Structure 1
Amino acid sequence: MAEGEGVAGRSIRVRLDGNASSKDLGALKAWLERERPLEELVRDGRLRIVEQPRSDGPSGHMGVGMEILLVLIGAGADAVSKELVAQTRRAVEAWLENRRRVESGDPPEPRVDPVRRDEG
């Protein structure tokens, strides 16, 4: 199965727009992997955090052509909970605050959304 394939309704998409770089995307992915309780879900094998090509990237699109997908795994992973989306948003905001402190320039604009069942 390809990354992100067959996971509609069981995943959260994180996109960075604006001045985002591939370095930003890699740093955010690493941050999410270390952020509790996401880290615990990854360690328990119930969540996978992957980078994949953006699903909305028109040809000639400027900026990062990748996104991060948090994919719930297992029989109990029927749908993304509101709490998991909120935890992911808090983790992205914490990363953004950290980036503002340690890097100059305009920060990227993050978007965190559950993937709808008709997407994917």
Structure 2
Amino acid sequence: MAEGDGVANQGIRIRLVGRAADSDIGALRKWLEREKPLEERVRAGQLKIHERPRTDETGTPMGVGSDIVLIVTGAAATVVFQELLDQVRRAVSAWRDNRRDVEDGEPPEGRVEPVNLDDR
């Protein structure tokens, strides 16, 4: 990684913990894709949203389950990363509130954290 690339190789990982069903991952991904600020970044080519098999800190697959990974792309990566991280945290919180309203039981917790994409 070249000096100054800092955030260019970073993304944001969302991991649902607790009683998360496979349908929760899909529902949360669709929710994120429709969140206006995130949707605009996807359309502008600044953001990609992917599901990937869950891994541990070393990148080794961890049985069943998936994470959602948002990959920040383009020259804007270093400028918007913290703002994007905050938007994703708010979106996950809104998804949990909505899920609580439309389904029985407590929704899974959502851990939102920066991740170095070179380490995956």
- For the superposition of Structure 1 and Structure 2, which TM-score range results when normalised by the shorter chain? 0.7 to 0.9
TM value normalised by structure 1: 0.81
Structure with the higher fraction of residues in helix conformation = 2
Is 1:8–1:118's contact at 8 Å kept on the other side of the alignment?
no
TM-score (norm 2): 0.81
Residue 62 of structure 2 is matched in structure 1 by 58
**Correspondence for 1:18:** 18
Name the structure 2 match of 1:92.
92
C-alpha deviation, 1:109, in angstroms: 1.2
**Counterpart for residue 74 of structure 1:** 74
Corresponding residue for residue 104 of structure 1: 104
SS at match of 2:88: helix
After TM superposition, give the deviation of residue 65 of structure 1 in Å: 1.2
Percent pairwise identity: 55
Q: Per-residue CA shift, 1:31-51, capped at 9, x if unaligned?
A: 000102101001111110010
How many residue pairs were aligned? 110
Per-residue Cα deviation, 1:49-80 (whole angstroms, up to 9, x for no partner)? 01000122534xxxx51000000112332476
- Aligned-residue Cα RMSD (Å) equals 2.2
Q: Quick check: which one's strand share is greater?
A: 2
Q: Match for 1:108: what amino acid?
A: P
- Once the two structures are overlaid, the 10-residue window that deviates more, 68-77 or 34-43, is 68-77
Name stretches of at least 5 consecutive residues in structure 2 with no aligned partner: 1-6
Segments of structure 1 that go 5 or more residues without pairing to the other structure are 1-6
1:3 corresponds in structure 2 to none
